[in-house]
Amino acid sequence: ADKSTPLMSKGQPRGPGVELSGPDALGAPSNAAALQPPAPMPRKSQTTKLKPKRVKALYNCVADNPDELTFSEGDVIIVDGEEDQEWWIGHIDGDPSRKGAFPVSFVHFIA
């Protein structure tokens, strides 16, 4: 019967009239702790390393600078981070030595 509430946090009692008190309250008033979720941690670009974002090149791209990535149409690129909204950092799938910045407009996401 309790399986219908999958969103309950572990370690918190279930049922109506749950009131946080003792060590669960953490010094906050019980109504404030129940109404406001904790603030999320700041996002880090390293989170992309946990689940690599893969994109596929739509066009050939020749690097203009040494820190840019040269690739060919159809190449798969693993996204390592974002320089800004228009340029991302990544490497060619299967060849980590080929890495650099690339224009987002030259690739599309792989579903």
- Specify if 4 maps to a domain: no
How many independent structural domains does the chain possess? 1
Mean of the per-residue pLDDT values of the chain: 76
94/65 Cα distance (integer angstroms):
22
- Specify if 71 maps to a domain: yes
46-60 CB burial, b ≥16 within 10 A, e <16: eebeeeebebebeee
CATH number of the domain that 95 lies in? Answer: 2.30.30.40
> Residues 53-100: pLDDT tens digits?
899 999 999 999 999 999 999 999 999 999 999 999 999 999 999 999
- Specify if 86 maps to a domain: yes
26/107 Cα distance (integer angstroms):
47
Model confidence at 48, pLDDT cuts 50, 70, 90, reads very low
Number of H helices, E strands in the chain: 2, 5
> Residues 4-13: pLDDT tens digits?
545 544 555 5
Tell me if 47 sits within 8 A of 41, measured CB to CB: no
pTM comes to 0.55
- Specify if 57 maps to a domain: yes
Q: Domain span at residue 98?
A: 53-109
